Amino acid sequence: MTDLATTSGKLPRIVIVGGGFGGVELAKRLKNKEVEIVMLDRHNYHTFQPLLYQVATGGLEADSIAFPLRKIFKKQKNFIFRVTEVTKIVPEQNILETSIGPIKYDYLIIATGSDTNFFGQKEIEHYSMPMKSIPEALNLRSMILQNLEEALIEIDPVKKESLLNFVVVGGGPTGVELSGALAELKKHVLPQDYPELDMNQVTIYLVEGSPKLLGVMSEQSSKKSKEFLEEMGVKVLTDVRVETYDGKVLALSNSQAINTQNVLWSAGVKGALLDGLPKEAIARGGRVLADEFNRVPGFDHIFAIGDVAAVITDEKPNGLPGVAPVAIQQGKQLAKNIIHLIKKEKLEPFKYFDQGSMATVGRNRAVVDIGKIRFQGIFAWFVWMFVHLMSLVGFRNKVVTFVNWVWSYFSYDRGIRLIIRKFDRKSMTEDPCAK
């Protein structure tokens, strides 16, 4: 039994599952309040997910975009943190079952974020590479570098081609930014690192199932991002879906087959659910239904915020976008409402203020939508860099990231091309159905 299996009864205990943007903001807003905050996460750090693709492509080291959760809250006396895996919610007892034992709560906030969605395609899930966490980004970096090393000594032209074909699946911001980063690697870095390789053999594809890239952004930004990528040598395939992938050949809905061992999957996300909630509390896409107060229907003291939450309204029939500003704003508002609940005051409904959308494609290339204002190119790129730099947690992370970006800009180099954790190819070449 953990020291958190019971409550003292002196202060209401608020348990936050997840140390992402929403969970961190909520805990910060409850500082100096008459509550006990318990945060649970499987990692002891907060991850700045928008820059994971730069870790995967050697632009940044992992510790540039991660920050210890305990350090964020080191001066917050009403805060407790535990590294654990939450296995189940037991709502009728106000208890969480975890890998370190049961944890009692008075108020529960589910802020678990999202996982990669393979849409039930087990074979694709087994053979392709996702990028939703730092370990996955490091695996991806190692796979890319190991395949390039192997291509140097590969004699078989078919296998060599498969090692040098890179396919990014999903034309959202992550897919666009990852494709652009790979294109810059090909142009500026690989010719110096691998002079024996013919760079014309290195091919980068971006496959998107809908008719346009960056579906959540304006038509102008969508067209410009595609134009930028094609200028950089990326083969953009829109309105094309992945049919099958067996680890060697990627079959597409347009009858095209791509010989590749590098499939990078960013085609969708689903909520990182916890067991224990009834089916009627789960929305499409594996997310938890939440009302205008971010409360899970049927439960007075259970809430959901961030990517895992589905706040369905007439204006937003598909829910709010899965971006950091949504989670941060929900965390701020929920902190107020929990205090209102404790004091038996009226709750305030959550209203999302859309601050705009942006995506970078590469050096001096980005697209930005802010309200009805749209702009692209170098100014948009500087805006993107400034916003992301200021959003990083920790002064050191801001400085390290800024220095890396300045160095990369003037040197045309990406200095972190290290195979720190060797990627186990065998696990991806075994037949998933044979296990």
pLDDT in tens, 252-271: 999 999 999 999 999 988 88
Residue type, 347: L
Q: Can you name the CATH fold of 122-267+363-434? A: FAD/NAD(P)-binding domain (3.50.50)
User: Beta strand 107-110 with 13-17: parallel, antiparallel or unpaired?
Assistant: parallel
Q: Where in the chain is the domain with CATH 3.50.50.60?
A: 13-42+84-116+270-342
- Higher-confidence position of 120 and 160: 160
User: Beta strand 103-104 with 282-283: parallel, antiparallel or unpaired?
Assistant: unpaired
Do the beta carbons of residue 37 and residue 14 sit within 8 Å? yes
Catalytic residue among 25, 36, 61, 177: 177
Q: What is the mean pLDDT of the chain?
A: 91
Q: What is the DSSP string of 75-143?
A: T-TTEEEEE--EEEEEGGGTEEEETT--EE-SEEEE---EEE--TT-HHHHHHSB--SSHHHHHHHHHH
User: Beta strand 242-245 with 249-252: parallel, antiparallel or unpaired?
Assistant: antiparallel
The pTM for the full model equals 0.91
Do the beta carbons of residue 49 and residue 327 sit within 8 Å? no
pLDDT value of residue 302 = 96
What residues have CB less than 8 Å from 103, skipping those under 6 apart?
Answer: 2, 4, 5, 15, 38, 40, 82, 95, 96
Nearest to 175 by CA among 143, 128, 142, 220: 128
pLDDT at 131 over 80: yes
pLDDT at 404 over 60: yes
pLDDT digits (tens, 9 = 90+) for 90-112: 999 999 999 999 999 999 999 99
Q: Where in the chain is the domain with CATH 3.50.50.100?
A: 122-267+363-434
Q: How confident is the model at residue 434 (pLDDT cuts 50, 70, 90)?
A: very low
- Higher-confidence position of 348 and 428: 348
pLDDT at 5 over 90: no
pLDDT value of residue 423 = 75
**Where are the strands (E) in 186-310, listed by range?**
203-208, 235-238, 242-245, 249-252, 257-259, 262-265, 269-271, 282-283, 287-289, 302-304, 309-310
SS3 365: strand
The superfamily CATH assigns to domain 13-42+84-116+270-342 is FAD/NAD(P)-binding domain (3.50.50.60)
Question: Catalytic annotation on 177?
Answer: yes
pLDDT digits (tens, 9 = 90+) for 281-307: 998 888 999 999 999 999 999 999 999
